[in-house]
Amino acid sequence: MDILSKKETGNTALGYLQSKLIDEAKLKIFDHSKSINDIASELGFKYQQHFSRLFKQKTGITPNDYRNLN
């Protein structure tokens, strides 16, 4: 499956899933009643640091910085 999806989309299956996860995170970050830790937990991350690292890797900024921009 990885080879087919990469060939057709230019992205691996993992990359595609991570992109969708970050898209969902971006929406949830607008809810200021939830902490970044709450959002990370809702998205299935055991540790908030892992979520923050992936978010920064995919967007170039931390979840807190993203929240403050919007």
The domain covering 21-69 belongs, at the CATH homologous superfamily level, to Homeodomain-like (1.10.10.60)
Q: Report the pLDDT value the prediction gives residue 1, as an integer from 0 to 100.
A: 46
DSSP labels for 27-66?
A: HHHT-TTS-HHHHHHHTT-SSHHHHHHHHHHHHSS-HHHH
What gap in Å lies between CA 8 and CA 62, rounded to an integer?
A: 30
pTM higher than the cut 0.85: no
Specify whether the CB–CB gap between 63 and 39 falls below 8 A: yes
Query: Using one digit for the tens of pLDDT, what is the confidence trace for 7-25?
Result: 666 778 888 899 999 999 9
Break the chain into its structural domains and give their ranges: 21-69
Specify whether the CB–CB gap between 37 and 26 falls below 8 A: no
Chain CA centroid to CA 3, Å = 23
